[in-house]
């Protein structure tokens, strides 16, 4: 059965990628393949073989090809996130349909919604507090910061901590018009401490890649940098992500969590004097753990 499904993927590639009427069958194809991988019926190396059999569809030009090739050494890098933010589509005639499919997936829509969620929260906080300081953990391309700034908001100062020096170079270029408002730090966040306290600490996607123990350790570390009444905001993909099979076919694996999981982790962190709640973007796929420090 899997051989037939991989043959279907190859045929789609040879005919220029999926059309809109192919999307449902294609979604089912990813699910059947990944069900067999998880059950042990299909060795994971067969997936890697399928990538090569699909040729340029999983080559360097397409978004899904970028995911599997990992040109920056890891999945979910700053470049793929920024291409999702900007709804980037390959212009090659035989590959464009694959990028259109990729960008239409629910996970990509949730990532774009995540950016808007952050920007809207910042705008609300400016109304309440005027000028304040934000710590952005794992800032990636920092396009959310730029878009916030371009709305005419100049009252917020940003410290951005990022382990990938290429991401910092990329983000610095994007934010070149506001470098008096943003400072980039090439550091491991667990070793970051500059004496500042923050009204808001934001991490869009880093916690998706942490196990529960690492999640709690980092939560405890970040909470120490909050101002009284400051807010720690953690993004994490929900376990209901409809795009999971397609992502995992391409090797993009996350630690998915429910609302209950996030609240349990906040409670198990034993951080003194906090309240916790859960938010979500419009599709309910990307969840947000809000932790507010008391006075």
Q: Are 206 and 138 in contact (CB under 8 A)?
A: yes
Q: 184: domain CATH number?
A: 3.40.50.150
Where does the pLDDT of residue 1 fall: very low under 50, low under 70, confident under 90, or very high at 90 and above? very low
Boundary-marking domain end, from 104, 127, 157: 104
Name the residue range of residue 251's domain.
108-293
Boundary-marking domain end, from 48, 79, 104: 104
User: For residue 2, what pLDDT is reported?
Assistant: 57
User: For residue 45, what pLDDT is reported?
Assistant: 87
State pLDDT tens for residues 44-73. 888 988 898 899 999 999 999 999 999 999
Alpha-carbon span 234 to 262, nearest angstrom: 9
User: For residue 130, what pLDDT is reported?
Assistant: 87
Looking at the structure, do residues 199 and 244 belong to the same domain, yes or no? yes
**Hey, which bits of 147-284 come out as E strands?**
156-162, 182-186, 198-203, 226-237, 274-280
Looking at the structure, do residues 227 and 254 belong to the same domain, yes or no? yes
- Nearest Cα to Cα of residue 204 among 172, 163, 227, 232: 232
Looking at the structure, do residues 118 and 250 belong to the same domain, yes or no? yes
Looking at the structure, do residues 84 and 47 belong to the same domain, yes or no? yes
168-193 mean pLDDT:
96
Looking at the structure, do residues 219 and 129 belong to the same domain, yes or no? yes
What is the total count of domains within the chain?
2
Mean pLDDT lowest among 41-45, 195-199, 282-286 = 41-45
Looking at the structure, do residues 181 and 41 belong to the same domain, yes or no? no
- Which residues lie closer than 8 Å to 167 by C-beta, 6 or more apart? 72, 77, 78, 139, 140, 141
Looking at the structure, do residues 214 and 151 belong to the same domain, yes or no? yes
Residue 127 pLDDT > 50, yes or no?
Answer: yes
Q: Name the DSSP class of 55.
A: G
Looking at the structure, do residues 165 and 181 belong to the same domain, yes or no? yes
Alpha-carbon span 217 to 269, nearest angstrom: 8
Looking at the structure, do residues 33 and 83 belong to the same domain, yes or no? yes
174-203 mean pLDDT:
95
Averaged confidence pLDDT in the chain: 95
Looking at the structure, do residues 264 and 130 belong to the same domain, yes or no? yes
User: For residue 95, what pLDDT is reported?
Assistant: 96
For the entire predicted model, the pTM comes to 0.95
User: For residue 295, what pLDDT is reported?
Assistant: 78
Boundary-marking domain end, from 57, 76, 104: 104
Percent of the chain with pLDDT over 90: 88
Looking at the structure, do residues 153 and 269 belong to the same domain, yes or no? yes
User: For residue 152, what pLDDT is reported?
Assistant: 85
Q: Most distant CA pair in the chain: distance in Å?
A: 62
**Joined tokens for residue 71:** 């040109």
Residue 99 pLDDT > 90, yes or no?
Answer: yes
Looking at the structure, do residues 191 and 209 belong to the same domain, yes or no? yes
258-270 mean pLDDT:
97
């Amino acid at each position: 059965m899997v051989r037939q499904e991989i043959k279907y993927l190859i045929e789609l590639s040879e005919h220029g990628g999926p059309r809109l009427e192919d999307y449902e069958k294609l979604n089912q194809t990813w699910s059947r393949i990944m069900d067999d991988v998880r059950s042990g019926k299909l060795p994971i190396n067969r997936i890697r073989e399928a990538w090569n059999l699909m040729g340029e569809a999983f080559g360097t030009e397409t978004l899904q090809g970028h995911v599997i090739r990992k040109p920056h050494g890891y999945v979910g890098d700053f470049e793929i996130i920024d291409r999702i933010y900007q709804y980037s589509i390959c212009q090659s005639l035989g590959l464009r349909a694959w990028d259109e499919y990729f960008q239409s997936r629910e996970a990509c829509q949730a990532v774009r919604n995540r950016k808007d969620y952050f920007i809207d929260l910042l705008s609300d906080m400016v109304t309440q507090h005027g000028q304040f300081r934000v710590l952005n953990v794992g800032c990636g391309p920092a396009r959310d910061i730029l878009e916030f700034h371009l709305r005419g908001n100049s009252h917020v100062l940003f410290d951005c901590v990022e382990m990938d020096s290429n991401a910092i170079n990329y983000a610095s270029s994007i934010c070149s018009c506001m470098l008096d408002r943003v400072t980039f730090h090439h550091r491991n966040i667990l070793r970051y401490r500059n004496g500042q306290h923050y009204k808001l600490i934001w991490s869009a996607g880093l916690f998706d890649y942490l196990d529960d123990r690492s999640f709690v350790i980092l939560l405890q570390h970040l909470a120490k940098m909050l101002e009284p009444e400051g807010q720690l905001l953690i993004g994490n993909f929900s376990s209901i992500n409809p795009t999971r099979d397609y992502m995992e076919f391409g090797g993009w694996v996350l630690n998915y969590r429910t609302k209950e999981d996030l609240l349990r982790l906040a409670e198990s962190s034993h951080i003194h004097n906090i309240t916790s709640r859960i938010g979500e973007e419009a599709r309910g796929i990307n969840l947000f753990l809000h932790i507010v420090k008391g006075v």
